[in-house]
Structure 1
Amino acid sequence: MPATSLADWLRAAPDDALAVLLRRRRDLATPPPSDTTVLATRAGTPGSVARACEDLDTLTLAVLDALLLAGADTDAATLADVQAMVEVDITEPLERLRSRLLVWGDDDALRVPPSARDALGPFPAGLGASVPALAGVDLSGLGEDERALIGTLAAGQPIGRTRDAGIDVPLERATTPVQRLLARGLLLRRDDQTVELPRELGIQLRGGHVFTPGALQEPELPTNPHQQSTVDEVAAGEAMELLRQMENLLLSWSAAPPPVLKSGGLGVRELKKLAKDNEIDEPRATLLAELAVGSGLVADSEAASPEWVPTTLTDSWLAAAAPQRWLTIVQAWLELPRLPGLAGGRDAKDKPIAPLSDEIRRPLAPLARRRVLMALADLPEGAGVKSVDELVAVLAWRAPRRGGRLRDETVRWTMAEASALGVLALGALTTATRATLEEDRANAVAALLESMPKPVDKVLVQADLTVIAPGPLEPELAADMAAVANIESSGHATVYRVTEASVRRALDAGRTAGELQQLFTTKSATPVPQTLTYLIDDVARRHGRLRGGVAECFLRCDDEALLAEVMAHPVASDCALRMIAPTVLISTLPLAEVLEALRGAGFAPAAEGPDGRVVDIRPSGRRVPARPRPARRVAPESAGLTGVQIDQIVAHLRAGDLAVGRRRGTSMRSHGGSGAAASTSATLEFLAQAVQDRREVLIGFVDSRGTASQRVVRPSRVGGGILEGSDNQRYPLHRITSAALVED
């Protein structure tokens, strides 16, 4: 059968086949090719072929390798030749290759682009150059060292570097395995330092197979069945722990923002402190920091001494319900163009990679992350993978050319991060995560709310002044407990401790002793111990006897002896206190500083408002303006051309082919001798005459991208600076460079 060029094959292909091609290989459509010759040239470039191979599985790539072994890049190959090498059904893989234009032609004349060998490497299937004379050669006389050497070359790449490659000695004088194999003709010398194992010998060492049969089958992915409700509940616990840790980070960095390193990122000391404060390891602390910045809750202050400071979004995030907060963090993680797992490693200059630094930026990270989650989404509900390594093997088989050197590590990092975020549990996706992947925010929030433990409205007060919350507290009760007690340990049950300082903090915030006693009486499921009652009463008795206000600030007290005691203390000088009345002192320092100094000196002052009531003047933490987040990008798998756009490109191709066909197959003449040189008025007159005579015209024009092409047009109207064809296509006259009648 005569050879068919790629351009001829495309020209004869139906429109729907071209549409599939443009959908599978989007790079071919940008900019739109002027005709199928341009499309064929573009499709045959090494870069385009390499991109088209990225999402092919191991079996499909093996078929492409077999075609290269059969010489389909230089001459036509038959389906039977390829089938004999692959030894499994190749119907579907061959169709995938055809749909991507990596193979074209009939079954008895299959061809591949010549650049495929450049894109896939010089050794298809890991086999070397063919030496037909070595087919079925007897290897029984080889020594163990010689067998080991050629066995290694047969299992991997067929070439090896050795100093013995340049030594040519007869067999009887050969002293090394390489010298003996070269003398026997079982190795080929490529240069003075490189040897190559012949193809026939490699196949023989593989048991007569070009490909190991087992390697062409997708590995199994063993799973453990779980109740979906169990998966959701376990993941909800992790989600709550994540939210607690993120709250701690935001509150901690509000009070003391960590500095930004000169080279960018977060320092080792600050990372260790974050890990210690949250009782987590450093990789998880890195993930927290990355998510805080990635979700817009923290940003670089960009000051003279830059710091990582919470943004104005922090307050609204802290006030939102738990499911809403979780969804914000998870969506930021899905779109995070960074690999937190790289932090702590070494860069190309052997320097440590810091969290939040530019070294861990990877624009394709969201695609890799979603690819892992979609593989889990394909499993039945509640089915969890038994081993991450088994998932790594499956994904590597499905796309061995995607992901680069970090391909497998990215899968492991994604699974670890997803578990920490409550995106999955027990190796299975949660209901909320499935809804999130489907862009169903409402169902994601509802699913997480359903799986989270129901808030409790009671606590257990112990005699040692600890308070146990047996689950997540109702928001109002949680705020009350945070005001009057310190968190001692957290988890599914949170342990608080009430101290003198924590009670004074609650009184400073405006609560009264009676309100605190009422809080524990009504909210404790156990009897309130007397030690707690005495502690509250004792602190309250001393609290607020000395009151301050803003003058720059003032202190007032009905007990003149107490004010005299204050003035006699060294703190009076430190705070620049001055008595203006027997019961009133003033200071030039801010009230917060004065009260802090007095408390350090052993006094128990309180701040009051204009109405005399106790007020809370503690700072809420630093904030910087939130940075505008970039527009959300569609995942590369789902992004692409619309059906209408593809139809337009196909029509554009067909029109270009028509112009090429008419130019080559029909005699034409240009108006005025040269259409390119004709003036605008002459061209306009020429086109108007073509409209009147109902004649087809071959026009040359330049599109908005600056691409020159030609079209055959039957003009229907010329006016207003526009040439309108009978197919409703419109061409601006100032972009038309030439015009010629098409002769019948």
Structure 2
Amino acid sequence: MSELLKVASALRRMSDESLANLITERMVNSSGLVDFFDLAEALTKPTSISAAIAGLPLSQAIELRSLAAGNKPNNKVAAELARQMLVSGEPEYKPFESTVEALAAFAKLEIICAVADGKDPAPAQEQIDRDCGIEIFESLQAITELIFDLEHRFVREVGKKNVGLPDIKRFATHLRKPNDYAKQIYELAHLLNLIMLANGRWQLSSKSQDWLAWNQSERFMHLARTWREILGDGSARELQSALDNSGEVISLEEKLSSTYPFADGSVSSKITKLASIAGLIGLAANGWMSSWAIKVLKCDYQGASKLAAGSLPQPQDKIICQADLTLIAPGPLQTEVEIMLRRFADTEQIGMASTYRLSALSISHGLETGLTIAEIRELLQRLSGNAIPQPIEYLLNEGELRFGRLKIIGGESNERTLLQSSDPVLLAEILNDSKLKPFALSQLEDGQLASRFEPEVLYFGLREVGFVAIRVDESGKVISPLSATRQALATEKTNSIAADILRLREQDAKLGDAPDDDDLQRQIQLAIKNKARAKFTVTSSNGEIEFLLEPIGIANGRLRAKDRKADIERTLPITSIIRVVLD
């Protein structure tokens, strides 16, 4: 039996929980997998295996070397390797050929484990925790900012699960951070399942609504839990053991290099990514471990959160309303206050003290999400403790008066979107705006404007150039910008790891019961490629007949295969084959 078939067979026997852990730890993209053979192929790719070996802790690295040399297995450690699909299952625990080939590229353990003399003096743990607290606060703010940004903007997928450079630059500028930091926040939010890809754009998931409802401690626990799940139980136990015995300020870089001897410094390395994320989410700062990191390794997320809370700024509910239409928050706002404020105000600067700006666009967004002008006015007065400045009062009144003046509705055939307004001057201005030329707007006989783009695309395009438009359905009801999140939930349900595993199980059952032509062709090609035997069920005048054959090839609609039992070569019409089961 070929290695691919062995791995696929082992995957079938695993529980759903074990499969989910394997996909998470090996960082496999399971969304496009059709069956267990696809998953097996993804796991046995040289790059995937090398990444998995590079992430092995010391005990597993030593055991893998030993098994590759033909020594007897240490069942406890070898079982961890088998769970990662690097070796076969019990009792032999034999490394797969692809594992042995990838292992040959790694240096000897004696050389890798050497630790250089001379270290920089360690800072005080209190200073480390203070720096980690700043990292946590900045990451929590940046992720929250990304959630609101995706609610207001149309961010397309570029390439394969990437974000376009213009969107990265804009977000980085908004955060006042480098482009690499903005990219890391996108990647982190995706790992946290806060954002997802749906219909070619980055959208918010249902988990993003939980994030907005959580307080600082709950958000940090989600960060820590995700990091720990990617690390894996075996690696966490070994790293925890190394940290338990230290009794001093801990260097993350030193512990990682000694605990993970095969780890390299490449960007694609799992350990490199985990170290980078640890610094991003405040488990480490400048290479030094926080005092709560050990609790995260032990899955004591509440304990870690309580320790980290002491290094985070305390939220408050006070803002200053200014006549230039800005709102200043002297400190971090309470979660529920910030969520309400962000529905009708845009951020200009985020930090310990944040600045928000009111505009016609932001007020319209608040009204679209269901707020009223009275509710906005009441919130501003309550948070500021004073009457709101007259310019803000003018803006609120004008926003209420002009709301709905420009409407976007779905069209038919080539006119996928219609733009309506009672103000012909406004429509003429939009039609002649050079920034909107890509939307190919045209004027209809009744004065409306039409576009071949989707209503959602035109909506965000108009907002980008400053036109206050709203979307309405056929009955004239306002469509909230939050509806995109709700519409994405159906896609989200089919894109989760649990849904992917269910799909693999269903496909496996289908292959045995009612395979279609594509399934049959795929099974036959797999058997030919891997020189494997398969049970073929064919129809004849005498009913169904089953053969155990080794396929050789397909030509002119017929399958050639060796029948070892009868010691002959058989030729079967493809149309007569109704079932193929790899042996």
Q: State TM-score, norm by structure 1.
A: 0.41
Q: State TM-score, norm by structure 2.
A: 0.50
- Greater relative contact order structure (CA < 8 Å, 6+ sep): 2
